[in-house]
Amino acid sequence: MIKILFIPIFLIFASVNYGCSPASVLATGGGSAMVVAEGERTLGTVIDDATIKVNIAAKFLNADNNLFVNINTSVLEGRILLTGLVDSQEIRIDAVRLVWEVEGVKEIINEIEIGNRTTLKDYASDLWINTQARAIAAKTMGIKAITFNFETIQGKIYIAGITARQDLLDEMIIALKNIKGVSEIINYVIIRDKL
């Protein structure tokens, strides 16, 4: 119920936030949130990505199988990273099909896994890992850490973002590997020559 109310609130917040502070825009939906610093992408790209994210969230809300609840989406320049846990291969395929129906989607990176978190302890562990990952990113990348999106599924950390600092990204990934419970780091960060 909270997520259903979140999309209209997001739209209002994004328009008010952007009007008051042109430094950043909040993009959210599908169970995750990502703050995007304007300096990383053009304003048009930020708006396009936010629109794609909202449209994907709407598709997932209207679908069966709790896609909106079970799948997280990250959108960077029309590239969609899907993460989460679903019950079957059919649901995984359906989610990808729905995303391709959204205008502006250029690429889909499908990291949706089949299975479930068997216990509350598993969910708490992933949440703890994700919190630690964000703290490490803040320490390593500074304020630019807000431009990264982290999702943790069964001990695997998925990272999406854009940076010009390969050295800091490498340092951050090394630190992430030392978090207790991390089984793998999956890196989808785009490296730019100059931001």
**What residues contact residue 26 under an 8 Å CB cut-off, 6+ apart?**
10, 13, 14, 17, 33, 34, 35, 36
User: Of 17-21, 32-36, 157-161, where does the model show the most confidence?
Assistant: 157-161
Instruction: Taking residues 9-19, report their average pLDDT.
Output: 40
Chain centroid to CA 135: how far? 16
Is 10's pLDDT higher than 70? no
Transcribe 19-68 into DSSP letters: HH-TTEEEEEETTEEEEEEGGGS-HHHHHHHHHHHHHHHHHHHHSSTTHH
Lowest-pLDDT choice from 19-28, 97-106, 186-195? 19-28
List pLDDT tens digits, range 63-78: 988 888 889 999 999 9
Residue 5's pLDDT band, with cuts at 50, 70 and 90, is very low
Give the per-residue pLDDT at 40. Answer: 63
Nearest of 102, 108, 107, 33 to residue 72 by alpha carbon: 33
| Pair 153, 83: CB distance under 8 Å | yes
- Contact call for residues 69 and 31 (beta carbons, < 8 A): yes
Query: Does the pTM exceed 0.95?
Result: no
The pLDDT tens digits of the residues spanning 116-142 come to: 766 778 889 999 999 999 999 999 988
Which SS3 state, helix, strand or coil, does residue 77 take?
Answer: coil
Neighbours of 145 (CB within 10 A): 22
For residue 121, the SS3 value is helix
Q: Give per-residue pLDDT as tens, 160-194.
A: 998 888 999 999 999 999 999 999 999 999 888 76
Percentage above 70 pLDDT, the chain = 77
Of the pLDDT bands very low, low, confident and very high (cuts 50, 70, 90), residue 25 is: very low
Class of domain 120-191: alpha beta
Looking at per-residue confidence, does 15 or 135 come out higher?
A: 135
Of the pLDDT bands very low, low, confident and very high (cuts 50, 70, 90), residue 107 is very high
Mean pLDDT of 137-152: 90
